[in-house]
Structure 1
Amino acid sequence: MSRRSAELPDTTKPTPGPWLKVALIITILVVLVVAVASWYALRPAPQAVVDPTPTATSAPVGPGLANGCLAGPDRTAAALIAAQGKAPHTTLGAIELTAAFLRWQAQYPFPPAGDSGLVSKTMAAAKATPDMKDLAGTFSARPVAQPGQTITTSMAQGKYFVESAEADQAQITVGSTVVINGTAVDPQNRGVSFTVTLVWESGVWKISKMEPSRVPDQVFSQGTSFVGGC
């Protein structure tokens, strides 16, 4: 299957913040519903392509170890925060919480403002990006889909990379499948991926930033599979 090559970024222009890129990806998911063919043209160029070999150092992580459904099937703030409390102080715990957080934040209709504020208060690291500290504001700035439409992501076919891992910090990339009105689409063609940086603070993993990095095709073709993804 041929694909359009991503355009190189114009380095003479200011680089947008990571959450602006996140909003652009959400825009693309909305466009998918009304014009699938435009997806390839609109997909943003990746920030970087890194060595595809996972480099976990603080705990052994292999195929079939990371649970892609730590928060369970619910996409509520309560389920996500409960998952934060369950995620162990290991690379595996960081991977599982990353999957839970990405699954929660990639939903439309967006989470209620009260839930978003609670997640920011509970899960944003002390040195988190401003957008992570104000998720309610972040969601309010995102584009909306057509009335009655739902957009979510699934970890059932999800993949992950451990970009780096230390005792109290980890950087995890996760790819998930787009689900439109309850129907999952081919992850090789309709997947999304984000890299999340986590730090261990106050006895739990917290999130300092989230940004696009690897192209989704690379994550799905070379990443490690979750078990029990939802």
Structure 2
Amino acid sequence: MFFKSDKNKLEDSPLTLNLQKKKRLYIIFSICTLLIAALLLINWTKKFENEKRWIDVVVTSRDINEIKIVEDIDLQMQAYPKILINDEIFTKKEDLIGLTLTRNLPKGAIIYKRDVLQSISSDSISLLLPQDKKAFSIDDSWLAAKTFVKVKDHVDIVIGNEKTNLGENDFIIRNAEIINVTDISGGSKSITLALTDAEIRLIMYAKVNEFSMQFAILPVQLR
């Protein structure tokens, strides 16, 4: 009887009851932890499956109705099924900012690499522009003197034959817009202008025949 009574007292003691309570709490806590881990795993699995099927793509955040330098305000991200997307899209806004958009786009349109001016060969004719203009790039080493033109500047291109008398065989291409300026190797710049076919042929003729070419930057009021 003495031992049985002592056992009952031990089971009913505050220390024993406290240990039993802690044990129950530990079991409940363990079960809750396992449930949370299971829910997180399910959620992560679903998210992973969705990410495999969808991709965030750069699109326009507003209607763009002009040739312009792309800014952050022009862009937003939108998810598209990967099956509908090719390698010509942009997945980061910073890859587009600063490039020149060459065509009109409505709000929400995907911007493709063909829609912007990037690096263009100095002898290339590319990307149709409004009003029968084309984007044509020249190396600034073609010019008689260094130029400090920037994108959206307008210039008169003065072309002259130094081997003839002053004024003979001189030409002026008036009000040509600079639509891109890109650094190239050797410290030179590739300058892209919006020109007509006739103006492009004139520049190529001047280059082949070693005529002198120079830019005269126009003030804003004369553009």
TM-score by length of 1: 0.22
Which structure is higher in RCO with an 8 Å CA cutoff and minimum separation 6? 1
TM-score by length of 2: 0.23
Higher strand proportion, which one?
A: 2
